[in-house]
Amino acid sequence: MTAPGGVLVPWKETCPMKQRMDFVLERRSGPMSMAALCRAFGVSRQTGYKWLARFYERKRFDDLADRSSRPHSHPATTDARVQARIVKARRQHPSWGPRKLRTWLKKWHPRLALPSPSTIGAILKRHGLVMPRRRARPHAPPRTQPFARCDAPNDVWCVDFKGDFLVGDGTRCWPLTIMDAYSRFLLCCRGFRRPDGKSVKRAFLDTFRRYGLPRAIRSDNGKPFCAVNAPAGLSQLAAWWVELGIKLERIDPGKPQQNGRHERMHRTLKYDAASPPARNLVAQQRAFDRFRRSYNLDRPHEAIGMVAPRERYRPSPRRLPRRVPSFDYALADRCFVRPDGKVRWGHRLVFLSQSLAGRVVGIEALDARYSEVRFGPVVLGVLDRDRPGVELIRRKEEMRGKKVSAM
């Protein structure tokens, strides 16, 4: 475009491609110097020479179009073999995130030049191996008080039944899980047709024989761990634990977050071993066994410093005794609990619980009116001589305002 007086000015209303073509044509046919031409088009001489060089390379106007600014090489790009190894590891462990995968690969493939966890996450996303996250649901703050004294392996074991589900042949499966709270070591993962006390006791017998006894067992208030209508909630299973010198810890009703580490493990168990369920209970148990080995030996756990639980766990020095020890009631009367759950107190029979049938309790007089009933270290309640019917009193407020420190 030529203005009056023969001076060229840039035609800024056109598209960049049209201006570049005009620039090249003007340079090839016009008498203007390169500096003047660049000033007329409003570009630097460096830009002007760049467009001329692109045109004269093949003498095609198409070469004046914008080119990709993507670099020709990426020095920091993850090697294709490393990417393939990351993808393979993810397919072997589909529930593991980038940090766990990196820790595991670093342990078993120390010579690999592994990228950062964020880069591993990007690689997984490019290969379609990242599932969209669910929106986090609001929940109550975690309660840490029950685990405040969990400072070593076998201080506290957590036990629970994961939610039941149907396997392929229509049989219902109830997975029982036992985990060491300190190391997150999964001690037992066994599927049952029904959650009855005898099956659970057999599972605990095998676990005690292999790993020893814990100091405490933490459970919810469901069967067979607790009997809500029995004194102190003692079920037959819980009474056996007390006889072995194990302290009972129970979460508050409706507060699963108090056993949050165990609930979190159940989510991983469901994803890795029960989605989808196996064809029958035998195959499902094989899936549980594979999960337990991987969870204990391979899977890095973020809460314990990105190491596998096996590196933090050791068996308990307290071994399962051949015979269940009896309690020493030094200052109390030893009373045998009859098959119907009753004990003889003086000339009368008092019902305690059928869960204690065949066991011995201690009844100690607190004063002329009240007597305390114990099963080892567990206080079952108080007997009141002046109360009609002579039944076991389980709560302080039922004692008509009388304070008894043992309660």
Domain boundary among 246, 279, 311: 311
Domain boundary among 18, 33, 64: 64
pTM of the predicted model over 0.85: no
How far is residue 362's CA from residue 330's CA, in Å, rounded to a whole number? 9
Identify whether residues 98 and 57 lie together within a single domain. Answer: no
How far is residue 400's CA from residue 178's CA, in Å, rounded to a whole number? 42
How far is residue 103's CA from residue 109's CA, in Å, rounded to a whole number? 10
* 232 within 8 A of 271, measured Cβ to Cβ: no
* 274 within 8 A of 234, measured Cβ to Cβ: no
The total of other beta-carbon atoms located within 10 Å of residue 253's CB is 9
The answer, yes or no, to whether residue 303 has pLDDT greater than 80, is yes
CA 228 to chain centre: 29
Instruction: Quote the tokens at residue 148.
Output: 């405040």
Residues 283-299 pLDDT 10s: 999 999 999 999 999 99
Identify whether residues 248 and 185 lie together within a single domain. Answer: yes
Identify whether residues 211 and 266 lie together within a single domain. Answer: yes
DSSP for 53-114 reads HHHHHHT-GGGGS------S--TTPPPHHHHHHHHHHHHHSTT--HHHHHHHHHHH-TTS--
Confidence at residue 255, expressed as pLDDT on a 0 to 100 scale: 80
Residues 111-155 pLDDT 10s: 888 888 888 888 888 888 887 766 655 444 444 344 446 889 999
CA 284 to chain centre: 21
87: domain range?
A: 80-126
Residues 349-373 pLDDT 10s: 888 889 999 999 999 988 888 889 9
Phi-psi region of 365 (alpha: psi -120 to 50; beta: other; left: phi over 0): beta
In a domain, residue 138? The reply is: no
Identify whether residues 162 and 291 lie together within a single domain. Answer: yes
Domain boundary among 126, 141, 164: 126
In a domain, residue 145? The reply is: no
With tokens 């692109």, the residue in question is 54
Identify whether residues 187 and 240 lie together within a single domain. Answer: yes
Residues 188-228 pLDDT 10s: 999 999 888 899 999 999 999 999 999 999 998 888 999 88
Beta bridge partners of 370: 384
Helix-strand-coil split of the chain, %, nearest 5: 35, 15, 45
How far is residue 270's CA from residue 163's CA, in Å, rounded to a whole number? 9
Task: Name the residue with higher pLDDT: 13 or 158.
Answer: 158
Identify whether residues 305 and 161 lie together within a single domain. Answer: yes
Residues 29-51 pLDDT 10s: 877 888 888 888 888 888 888 87
Identify whether residues 351 and 232 lie together within a single domain. Answer: no
In a domain, residue 134? The reply is: no
Q: How many domains does the chain have?
A: 4
* 214 within 8 A of 182, measured Cβ to Cβ: no
